[in-house]
Protein backbone atom coordinates (compact mmCIF):
# COMPACT_ATOMS: atom_id res chain seq x y z
CA UNK A 1 0.00 0.00 0.00
CA UNK A 2 1.21 3.48 -0.78
CA UNK A 3 0.57 4.79 2.74
CA UNK A 4 2.98 2.17 4.08
CA UNK A 5 5.60 3.22 1.53
CA UNK A 6 4.99 6.86 2.49
CA UNK A 7 5.53 6.05 6.18
CA UNK A 8 8.65 4.03 5.42
CA UNK A 9 10.11 6.81 3.27
CA UNK A 10 9.62 9.49 5.91
CA UNK A 11 10.86 7.19 8.65
CA UNK A 12 14.04 6.47 6.68
CA UNK A 13 14.69 10.02 5.37
CA UNK A 14 13.30 11.87 8.43
CA UNK A 15 11.89 14.78 6.38
CA UNK A 16 10.96 15.54 2.79
CA UNK A 17 9.14 18.08 0.70
CA UNK A 18 5.86 17.14 -0.91
CA UNK A 19 7.62 17.20 -4.27
CA UNK A 20 10.27 14.76 -3.04
CA UNK A 21 7.58 12.42 -1.75
CA UNK A 22 5.68 12.70 -5.01
CA UNK A 23 8.74 11.74 -7.05
CA UNK A 24 9.90 8.97 -4.71
CA UNK A 25 6.47 7.35 -4.54
CA UNK A 26 5.35 8.08 -8.10
CA UNK A 27 2.16 9.67 -6.80
CA UNK A 28 0.65 13.10 -7.29
CA UNK A 29 0.86 15.65 -4.47
CA UNK A 30 -2.96 15.73 -4.42
CA UNK A 31 -3.01 11.98 -3.79
CA UNK A 32 -0.41 12.23 -1.01
CA UNK A 33 -1.95 15.10 0.98
CA UNK A 34 -4.89 13.07 2.40
CA UNK A 35 -2.51 10.26 3.37
CA UNK A 36 -0.17 12.71 5.08
CA UNK A 37 -3.15 14.27 6.89
CA UNK A 38 -4.18 10.79 8.07
CA UNK A 39 -0.66 10.05 9.33
CA UNK A 40 -0.57 13.47 11.00
CA UNK A 41 -3.83 12.73 12.87
CA UNK A 42 -2.30 9.46 14.06
CA UNK A 43 0.79 11.37 15.30
CA UNK A 44 3.19 9.66 12.90
CA UNK A 45 4.19 12.69 10.81
CA UNK A 46 4.26 16.44 11.31
CA UNK A 47 3.85 19.18 8.76
CA UNK A 48 6.73 21.62 9.00
CA UNK A 49 6.09 25.36 8.99
CA UNK A 50 6.79 26.96 5.62
CA UNK A 51 10.30 28.38 5.32
CA UNK A 52 10.97 31.96 4.38
CA UNK A 53 11.47 32.49 0.69
CA UNK A 54 15.10 31.97 -0.24
CA UNK A 55 14.98 35.16 -2.29
CA UNK A 56 13.70 37.15 0.69
CA UNK A 57 10.50 38.27 -1.02
CA UNK A 58 6.89 37.45 -0.35
CA UNK A 59 5.69 37.19 -3.94
CA UNK A 60 4.41 33.60 -3.46
CA UNK A 61 5.85 32.42 -6.76
CA UNK A 62 7.67 29.47 -5.22
CA UNK A 63 6.37 26.02 -6.04
CA UNK A 64 3.96 25.10 -3.26
CA UNK A 65 5.02 21.44 -3.37
CA UNK A 66 8.64 22.41 -2.78
CA UNK A 67 7.70 24.51 0.25
CA UNK A 68 5.31 22.00 1.83
CA UNK A 69 7.48 19.75 3.96
CA UNK A 70 6.80 16.89 6.33
CA UNK A 71 8.86 15.06 8.91
CA UNK A 72 8.63 11.74 10.70
CA UNK A 73 7.30 12.39 14.21
CA UNK A 74 9.46 10.31 16.50
CA UNK A 75 9.70 12.83 19.31
CA UNK A 76 13.23 13.93 18.44
CA UNK A 77 14.18 17.58 18.54
CA UNK A 78 14.82 17.69 14.79
CA UNK A 79 12.62 20.74 14.27
CA UNK A 80 15.42 23.08 13.31
CA UNK A 81 15.02 24.98 10.09
CA UNK A 82 16.26 23.53 6.91
CA UNK A 83 15.33 23.80 3.31
CA UNK A 84 12.59 21.24 2.67
CA UNK A 85 13.79 20.96 -0.91
CA UNK A 86 17.06 19.49 0.33
CA UNK A 87 16.81 16.06 1.83
CA UNK A 88 18.02 15.98 5.44
CA UNK A 89 19.81 12.78 6.39
CA UNK A 90 20.42 11.66 9.96
CA UNK A 91 23.75 12.91 11.25
CA UNK A 92 24.05 15.84 8.81
Query: 30-69: per-residue pLDDT in tens?
Result: 999 999 999 999 999 999 987 766 666 666 666 565 678 9
Contacts of residue 54, defined as CB under 8 A and 6 or more positions apart, other chains included, come to 62, 83
pLDDT recorded at residue 38? 97
Whether 36 maps to a domain, the answer reads yes
Q: How many structural domains compose the chain?
A: 1
State pTM to two decimals.
0.70
The domain that holds 29 is classified in CATH as 1.10.10.10
Q: Whole domain around residue 11: which residue ranges?
A: 2-50+58-72
Whether 37 maps to a domain, the answer reads yes
Q: Is the pLDDT at 81 greater than 90, yes or no?
A: no
pLDDT recorded at residue 77? 47
Identify the DSSP state of 74. S
Whether 81 maps to a domain, the answer reads no
Beta carbons of 90 and 14 less than 8 angstroms apart:
yes
Farthest-apart Cα atoms in the chain, separation? 40
Whether 90 maps to a domain, the answer reads no
Amino acid sequence: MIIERLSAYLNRHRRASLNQLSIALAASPDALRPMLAHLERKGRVEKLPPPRAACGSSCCRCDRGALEAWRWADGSADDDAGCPGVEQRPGT
